[in-house]
Structures are given as structure tokens and as C-alpha cells.
Amino acid sequence: MDKGLTRVLRIDLTKKRSWVEERPDLFEKALGGAGVAIELLHELCPKGADPLSPENPIILAVGPLNPLFPLASKAVAMFKSPHTGNLGESHCGGRAALALRLAGFGALVIQGRSEVPVYLTVHRGRVQFRDARALWGLSSSLTVGRVLREIEPGSGARTILRIGRAGERLVTYATVIAETYRHFGRLGLGAVFGSKNLKALVISGTGTIPIPDPPRYQKLYRDLWERATRSDLMRKYHDLGTAQNIRPLNHIGALPVRNLLATAYDQEPAFSGERLAEGFLGRRLACSACPVACIHLAILREPHPHEPYFYKTTFVSYDHEPLYALGSMLGMKRAEDVLKLIDAVEVWGMDAITTGVVLAWATEAFSRGLISERETGGLRPAWGQPEPYLEMIRRIANREGEFYTALGQGVRVASARYGGEEFALHFGGNEMPGYHTGPGALLTYLSGARHSHLDSAGYAVDQECLQRGASLSPEELAQRLFAEEARRQVLSSLVVCFFARGIYDSETIRAALATLGVERSTQDLQTLGVQILRRKHAFKQREGFELATLPIPKRALQTPTPRGTVEEAFLRRALGEMQRLLEGEHGMA
């Protein structure tokens, strides 16, 4: 294994000290990425730690394939989540993985807390603590990126990770923004940065990675490059991006609309992938090492409110999830309005999915009289109206007053305080993603380690069952999703983008690792996936998480999916099976 990969860069913000630890043990056991990060989290995060205290570690990790193979483009972050109170895990593309690996590290850990705002730089493998007092409090995360781009070296092979105002103010779902338009989006890494007085982290790296078997490596690389560029991946994700999902989900009635009061628009939404590509698409981008380029930037041209013939041009990155959360979930009609909301969330630095679900809950709570203008500070949230939402986003990011402070902790906290729990769409404390396809999707949200649709992609099982007219028993469904989630642990330890899961079957992974001198059988890989998943579950349990008693929002059970309404008893049985699988035959790992 490459010696660079097994080095862990440790940074203590309290003592302003950094050092390197050699951890071949960890990388030999778990390859890298999520596998190594969860071990470091068990080691370094004390049980019961306050996620916003100096004790909580920020762990970034890459794996043996970054950036040596096509689509090995992701970096993994782990921390204790201030949003759910247990496992915080988030993946990010852009240049983060390439920069960290080529800086000569497999992982980076930040602990402690600086007494003044700082940002960290890693150039030529060396850490510097830089004064960030002037950057703290800037109203736009985009400005922070622009400033650092100018004053820091390493252009072309560096990552600029930073937080916005929401991170500074400890909104529990604040994001870390990378390279503009990419994120460690979910579960509140931005708030953990903020709690440490850490505004940004810049890493540059242009090192070499030795390849033990160059001829086999070159051949396999070409092979995978061809498979990636010829597969329907390219067509699917390059042409329209993930936004291509809006049209079919709307068509089958699986697109959450207006806080899941409905599941479709009468007509194709104005913000479907097709309509955005025709009317707004301005540029595509790729993460480093990825031929697909799924990142789509829209051009939003807005007239100046006072000056005639004067326009403001903004680039807004769109994906299925933000379009759902800040579009259909809020009953938006105009594409321009959705793009404006996505831009606002980017500027303040908040998770788009959670923000949209929070605003949807607030809109329904307002319409039912659970909250009034007294709580909202005179604003009247209403489906399809962007103006109140833009102002609410600003107030959440700035934690203005009691109500917006509650909204800044997600719908679980807000509904516990103001009521409306039956339509507070969260699973394990994390807000619902944009698929209401059936029991598979709901089971993924409930049982996935991160409560994210990407954990085990139950929506794909739903769609498959729908097409084939098949159905699975609760136990079968749990087994399918468990196997899928375990398989994905290997991908996120390499770290390969989940979009490439069709290309990276276990035989391909075995062969790719072998060219790098890492010998693992396909059986080893399978076992590793299960182990990592169980280690994550063990961390959650350690922090008080209980799968069996997890609340299920009533709204998700009442609103029919294309596969009918989902019975709570079905999900409970599936959760029982999932618990059995997660705990293994011999109890917890």
C-alpha cells in the first residue's frame, strides 16, 4: 500500500499544533474513506461528547483509488452530528479528495477549538494557522471562496472548504462548501467547523502516487474509462444531471409536493431536468477524476429592482434534491424562484434538503394556526411564494429569535416545541429526501446509517418492484437494503462515487486494488462492507440511537406512494429484521 495513504494529518486548534501519525493498521484493516473514518471516530470522539464542543473530531478521509481511477472522486467526512446527535457522515466531490491524497495524506483530523476565528492551510504537506477574523461574519460563503482563491497558492490542484454564516451561527444543518457548488452537505459539518472557530480549510497537493504494476494499471484504467464513458451513466448524468429524476417521479406520483400533502404536479414542473437544461443550463462541471460531469450550473438572470436594463447574473448549481426540497416541497411554480432559493441556501451555507423540509413544515404549521405572525416575525409563508422563504432562510442562518433558532435545529426540534409532529418529515432527526416511491424508500430513510436516500437506495427497489409488479416481504426488503448498504461501504472506502456503482462490481474493485499492490478477495470485500456498516451502527447505539423505537412521521404513512400507502406494521417488521442484521449473530461488533 502507498505509504502516503496511511499518513494521518492531525491538527489541534486549541494548541495550534499539527503532527503526522502513521496508521498502516487502520488502512490495512479498512482500506480508507468511510472504513477508516469510522474507526477514527470511535477512537477520538468521547462517548456522549457534545457535537459542538472542542472534543468532537472532524475527520476527512480518502481511499486507495483516489484519484487513480475514473470516478474515484469523493472524500468522506465523519464527526458526531449536531443535527441528529449521533453519526455524522457526509461525502463531497469537487477537488477535496484529489487535493488531500496528493498532499500526501489518507486522512486529516481536526480537534480542539481556536479562541479566535482561523482558517487552516495545507500546502506542501505543511499546516498553517491563518487569521480569519476578517472573513468571519461575511454575508456570503461565495465571497469567502473568492478571497481565498486569490490569496492562497496552489491554484488548479487545491480544495477550498469553507462555511457560511449558518455554520458560524451553529445552525445544526450548516454545510461545508467546496469549490463552490459542491458540499459536505448533510448532518451539520458546517456547524462543527463553526463551533471550532474554523472558517475554512485550504488543501493543495500535486504529489506522486507510486504504482506497483503500471502495465496492468494502465490497461485497467483504460478499460474503466471506456466503460464509464460508454455506459448510460454518461447520458443519464451528463446530459440532464440528477435533475432528470423530477419528470419521471412526478409522472408516477412519487415527488413530494407541499410537505408531502401531494406527490405530483398536474403538469411537468417548470424545474424538471429537461426544462432547466433547455432554459437555464449554462455550464457543466466534474469532480476531479470523473469523466461524467454531472454538476449542472444554471444561469439566473434577474433584472435590477431599480435600474432599467441592468441585470444581475448568478450561477446556481442544481440537482434533484435541492429542486425537490426548495421546489416541489414548497409548491414552487417558476424555475427562477427555485433557483433563487437554492442560491440563498448556498450563500448562507445550509443543507438544501433540510432547509426545504423545514420551510415546508413551517408553511403547514402556519396554515394550521400552530404558529402565527408572532412567531414568524410578521412573515406569511405560503406555497409557491419565494419572498417570505428568502427572508426566512436569512433569519434561520442568523438565528434571529426563538422561532428561527428552533427552525435552525430542524423539524424534529421545531415540531417538539410548536406541535405538528405528524407532518414533521424527518427520519432519525434527518429531513426527508425527495422520493416517495414506497416502502423501500421509507425503510432506507429509517434504517440507513445517515438516514439518507443514498445509504441503501430503497427508492430503486421500489421502482424495480413497480415495474415488475413484484413485492417483497418486510424481511426480504430489509435483507436487500442491508446488502446494498454494506456494498456501498466498500465504495465509500475507496472512495468511488455511488453513481459508478454499476461499474465497480466486486471483481473490478479486487482487480483495481491488485494493480496498487493491495490484495483482497471479493469475499474479503464483502465481509469488510458488513463490518463497516456494523461499526457505524455501533457508534450510533453508543450515542443512544434506537432503531426499533424510531418514530415514523404519520404523513409519510398516510400519503399514498405509487405502491399504495405503506403500513406502519410492515416497516416495523422490516426494522426488526434490519436490527438483527446490523447487530450480527454475535451481538454488536
Query: Interface residues with another protein (CB under 8 A)?
Result: 67-68, 70, 98, 101-102, 124, 145-146, 149, 155-157, 179-181, 205-211, 214-215, 217-218, 221, 225, 229, 234, 282-293, 295, 297, 315
In this structure, what C-alpha cell is assigned to residue 404?
Answer: 428561527
Cα separation, 343 vs 528, in Å, equals 39
Q: How far apart are CA 496 and CA 498, in angstroms?
A: 6
Cis peptide before 495, with omega less than 30 degrees from 0?
yes
236-241 contacts at long range (C-beta below 8 A, 24 or more positions apart): 237/292, 237/293, 237/294, 237/499, 238/284, 238/292, 238/293, 238/294, 239/277, 240/273, 240/274, 240/277, 240/296, 241/273, 241/284, 241/294, 241/295, 241/296, 241/318, 241/319, 241/320
Cβ contact 327:260 at 8 Å: no
**Cα angle for residues 62, 65, 67 (degrees, 5° grid):** 80
- Which residues have C-beta within 8 Å of that of residue 501, sequence separation ≥ 6? 487, 488, 491
Distance, in Å, from the CA atom of 233 to the CA atom of 411, rounded to the nearest integer, reads 35
Nearer to another protein, 255 or 297 (CB): 297
**Cell 445544526 found at:** 172
Cβ contacts of 304 within 8 Å, gap of 6 or more: 310, 311, 312
Residue 573 and residue 557: Cα distance in Å, rounded? 15
Q: How far apart are CA 367 and CA 382, in angstroms?
A: 8
Q: How far is the CB of 318 from another protein (least distance, A)?
A: 13
Q: How far apart are CA 145 and CA 397, in angstroms?
A: 18
CB of 526 to another protein, least distance (A): 26
**Residue whose CB is less far from another protein, 280 or 482:** 280
Burial 194-216 (b: 16+ CB within 10 A, else e): bbbbbbbbbbbbeeebebeeeee
